[in-house]
Structure 1
């Protein structure tokens, strides 16, 4: 876990150092988030904070993998980095040129396809009753993985509606995945007769630990400037990149190693944003509105309507997310 701690520290330092530079670049290039009827800020704010997150994360992962012999040959790690780069480039362009929803979805699918091509996919689940596992056909595994990646990526993007909200949720989610990886590694290392399969699992869990540690550090480094009142927004590049990394990390980690219940652990970690997104999409559809058009029906908007301040609203959501994450950890630790 030294490599994961190293990734976290490096990402924290780089993200904290580069965010002011990203702010200046966004202002110079005119990449500003302007107030309107569906936004809660009252003055223009620079975007592209996610650029600092992306650079910090990527540099930290590469550095940590370089010093850990168990990871530097793991191709799924490369799949996450390359797929994440596609997401980051698309987000960077969207913040500047306001790309269509179709192009954004295509970019997410491309990122997911890259991950799959490097071996990162939900290929099976262990049976909830009895022994053995249930393998998916390749085409079905690809579809399930793409749906998961796109869903998580877009969910974090949609939650980026208040200062510090998406960064805080991402920090909690990545921290939870880091704890899960550490627990899984500890269990494997306790086995007195490790097998070849255990070597593969160790490599994958170390990979997830590094990815999660790097995202945790990058999120916290950026949160220093994004906590209300924010001086910079992460933009599409930041929200979608963090969502992709969280989704990809849970796929690479293969938390289905114990039971079918363990497959749903990442769902518990992301329960708040996923349920909120589902509620909003259903509500828009029932009203006959376009499901991809932003409005003020998200959970954080409803909390503000009830009189809470931005800080109070994000801490309510932080707390709920932490509770669900703790439940997910409990299920993971007790799964047989």
Structure 2
């Protein structure tokens, strides 16, 4: 049933994105080309509307479908998340068309996050070893939830700089998240095995799959801030749901580290976006600029600067996401000592692959041969 919801989201997203392309091109709803942009011709940024359509329609179908409709029984959380998603898409579209000031955009992000925190899902547990810390204060719980959602939205927004990058990262990371949540619930002794986190990630992956063909290099449409922030909101909401299940015993089978699996996996999935966000804040603050000011210093820009092509930089980021996300997934299935050793080896190999163009250019004898040498 989850796969059916994923397919529904993909079909609707693909079709709706086609419609958004037509409207954006027909009405010439293009943002000015900025110095940091990687494209030279105007492209519509209304793709987030297609992703949102896929997400919203799939949720509505799920609410009336066998098995997954149990998630909606006496539970307003899915509708709170959908309401927050609608708010952030509206804010994102306004920013894509009008280029809002950073503080206005931040207010909009906070409003969407608060909608989710008040009417959707809420952080009630902070994972600690050996025992998780339970949050008793509603105000603290709402503030932490909103802060986490805003951070995740900005992380995904920052990584959205190359054609297909943010959508592909969301598909890979969301798939790992989906498989983990699904496996845990299918192997648990439960009367009701339906799960909101599993549904959210399934629908998110489907919506991004439907959008990606339109966004693959060279992109015919961009997801814009509306799409990137929507992905961040959904991913954060799914992570909050799974974190709240720590004390339920669902993760007790997770080989040696049961209390941190639900929070570790979302951070593994979001490692690259969060790393890019953190580096950007440090970089801009050190230069005396606002952390929200734009520049051309993101991770994907650095890959282009050392010699990667547009497509190869995107594929490399995909591979990093696979290593981190599925490495986190493996922790829920296999012994953590083995998984950590394999993950370390994989990351070492990926680090070498990532640095190879730079090392080849710098190392004597490894650079491109001159015409005289070739003769």
Match of 1:64 in 2: 62
Flag the 1:176–1:32 CA change in 2: closer, same or farther, 3 A: same
Flag the 1:108–1:81 CA change in 2: closer, same or farther, 3 A: same
Point out which structure has higher relative CO (alpha carbons under 8 A, 6+ apart). Answer: 1
Match of 1:13 in 2: 11
5+ residue gaps, structure 2: 252-257, 337-375
Distance apart, 1:266 and its partner CA: 0.5
Query: Would the aligned equivalents of 2:6 and 2:206 in 1 still touch at CA under 8 Å?
Result: yes
1:141-290 matches, cutoff 5 A: 141-188=141-188, 191=189, 194=190, 199=192, 202-203=193-194, 206-254=195-243, 257=246, 258=251, 259-262=258-261, 263-290=263-290
1:121-132 matches, cutoff 5 A: 121-129=122-130
Alpha-carbon distance in structure 2 between the residues aligned to 1:46 and 1:101: 21
Distance apart, 1:277 and its partner CA: 1.2
Query: Would the aligned equivalents of 1:95 and 1:235 in 2 still touch at CA under 8 Å?
Result: yes
| Larger deviation, residues 160-169 vs 137-146 | 137-146
Alpha-carbon distance in structure 2 between the residues aligned to 1:24 and 1:318: 29
Query: Would the aligned equivalents of 1:255 and 1:265 in 2 still touch at CA under 8 Å?
Result: no
Match of 1:50 in 2: 48
Alpha-carbon distance in structure 1 between the residues aligned to 2:8 and 2:186: 24
Partner-residue secondary structure (3-state), 1:70: helix
Flag the 1:126–1:317 CA change in 2: closer, same or farther, 3 A: closer
| Structure 1 residue 24 corresponds to structure 2 residue 19 | no
Match of 1:306 in 2: 306
Distance apart, 1:126 and its partner CA: 5.0
Alpha-carbon distance in structure 1 between the residues aligned to 2:101 and 2:29: 17
Query: Would the aligned equivalents of 1:148 and 1:247 in 2 still touch at CA under 8 Å?
Result: yes
**Which structure's CA Rg is the greater one?**
2
Alpha-carbon distance in structure 1 between the residues aligned to 2:183 and 2:244: 11
Alignment RMSD: 1.8
| Larger deviation, residues 8-17 vs 310-319 | 8-17
- Structure 1 residues 220-250: Cα deviation after superposition (integer angstroms, max 9, x where no partner): 1111010101111111111111111111111
- Structure 1 residues 259-317: Cα deviation after superposition (integer angstroms, max 9, x where no partner): 44222221111101111110111011111122111111000000001111110000111
| Larger deviation, residues 248-257 vs 171-180 | 248-257
Flag the 1:181–1:65 CA change in 2: closer, same or farther, 3 A: farther
Partner-residue secondary structure (3-state), 2:123: coil
Partner-residue secondary structure (3-state), 1:276: helix
- Structure 1 residues 88-133: Cα deviation after superposition (integer angstroms, max 9, x where no partner): 111111112122212221222122211122251111135422xx54
Query: Would the aligned equivalents of 2:17 and 2:214 in 1 still touch at CA under 8 Å?
Result: yes
5+ residue gaps, structure 1: none
1:87-126 matches, cutoff 5 A: 87-126=88-127
Query: Would the aligned equivalents of 1:54 and 1:88 in 2 still touch at CA under 8 Å?
Result: yes
TM-score, length-scaled by structure 2: 0.81
Partner-residue secondary structure (3-state), 1:33: coil
Alpha-carbon distance in structure 1 between the residues aligned to 2:267 and 2:277: 13
Match of 1:35 in 2: 33
Alpha-carbon distance in structure 2 between the residues aligned to 1:168 and 1:51: 17
Match of 2:352 in 1: none
Alpha-carbon distance in structure 2 between the residues aligned to 1:218 and 1:127: 34
- Structure 1 residues 57-113: Cα deviation after superposition (integer angstroms, max 9, x where no partner): 100111022113312222111111011111111111111212221222122212221
| Larger deviation, residues 62-71 vs 86-95 | 62-71
Alpha-carbon distance in structure 2 between the residues aligned to 1:221 and 1:322: 20
